Amino acid sequence: MIDDEGREVPVPDRVARVVSLVPSLTEAVEVTAPGLLVGVTDWCTHPPGLSVERVRGTKNPDVERVVALGPDLVLANQEENRRPDLDALREAGLAVYVTDIRDVDGGLDSLRRLLTACRLPEPEWLREARRLWDAIAPASPRRRAVVPIWRRPWMAVGSDTFTGAVLDRLGVDNVLAGSPERYPRIDPDDLPEHDLVVLPDEPYAFTADDGPEAFAAPSALVSGRLLTWYGPSLVEAARELPAALGIAPH
């Protein structure tokens, strides 16, 4: 198998034990093949009620614990996980498959390849996600948005992000897409012209009383999972985000 980094991954013919170091990939595998996962991160919250070994976070996995679980395959992501941790897992003799997901179509293709690496057939949720996103008509006229992700200090979505790609498909332009940084610091009083503020509930939990008051433009409170996760959440995102963002169908 060749992963998204172009690295050959020695995946066995039968995959019976998988460790996922990415919440989105955890959900994708567990929904597709319940019971295949033997280890996940502390941040893996979906599907709810998932009861498997926890191996700390995406940025600080317990390498020794992962190795002790004896997985046939470890799933990772180029942005979410640190290369030294993945190299340590490889040096311990584990097969590590790395995804690199930057946009919706590329994400759907990447998920199909990853599930193939897990020796799984393409699931119905993946086919449905592709169908729904292919059918989406972008907002007209297009909206111009800023997408804060943190405050104290204020930070927002910048260039080359999956979140920006999702919004673009919906007809919402990220006004900070030209930033040299992926997640730049911002001043709410000094932003490019915009007519929408998209406030997700993760990583910072923006609420109706914590966030909108800092901006002059109208705000839309949305699920961060629908903006930043890739997997079965893409089905929900296609169905729910347009209404959450106030984008009328046409």
Tell me the pLDDT of the chain averaged across its residues: 96
Nearby residues of 114 by Cβ (< 8 Å), 6 or more positions away = 25, 28, 75, 97, 99
Number of domains observed in the structure of the chain? 2
Query: Measured at the alpha carbon of residue 34, what is the angle toward residues 59 and 17, in degrees to the nearest 5?
Result: 60
Is the residue at 9 inside a domain? no
Query: Measured at the alpha carbon of residue 25, what is the angle toward residues 39 and 106, in degrees to the nearest 5?
Result: 155
Picking from 52, 87, 122, the residue at the C-terminal end of a domain is 122
pTM: 0.91
Is the residue at 3 inside a domain? no
Is the residue at 128 inside a domain? no
- The region, left, alpha or beta by phi > 0 then psi within -120 to 50, assigned to residue 6 is left
- CATH number, domain containing residue 183: 3.40.50.1980
CB 133 within 8 A of CB 234: yes
Is the residue at 1 inside a domain? no
Alpha helices of the chain — where are they, by DSSP H?
23-32, 63-68, 83-91, 104-117, 124-135, 162-170, 224-228, 233-244
Picking from 122, 155, 170, the residue at the C-terminal end of a domain is 122
Residues 95, 156: one domain?
Answer: no
**Model confidence at 192, in pLDDT bands (50, 70, 90)?**
very high
Residues 115, 190: one domain?
Answer: no
Is the residue at 4 inside a domain? no
C-beta atoms surrounding 245 within 10 Å: 19
Smallest Cα–Cα separation from 191: which of 139, 247, 147, 141? 147
Is the residue at 107 inside a domain? yes
Smallest Cα–Cα separation from 200: which of 156, 159, 232? 156
Residue 167 is predicted with a pLDDT of 97
**How do residues 82-138 score in pLDDT, each as one tens digit?**
999 999 999 999 999 999 999 999 999 999 999 999 999 999 999 999 999 999 999
Residues 143, 92: one domain?
Answer: no
Residues 49, 108: one domain?
Answer: yes
**Model confidence at 247, in pLDDT bands (50, 70, 90)?**
confident
Is the residue at 249 inside a domain? no
Residues 227, 149: one domain?
Answer: yes
Residues 159, 184: one domain?
Answer: yes
Residues 77, 144: one domain?
Answer: no
What range defines the domain where residue 118 resides? 18-122
Residues 142, 234: one domain?
Answer: yes
What whole-number distance in Å separates Cα of residue 154 and Cα of residue 166?
22
**Model confidence at 250, in pLDDT bands (50, 70, 90)?**
very low
Average pLDDT over residues 154-168: 96
Picking from 122, 155, 180, the residue at the C-terminal end of a domain is 122
Is the residue at 44 inside a domain? yes
Tell me 185's DSSP state.
B
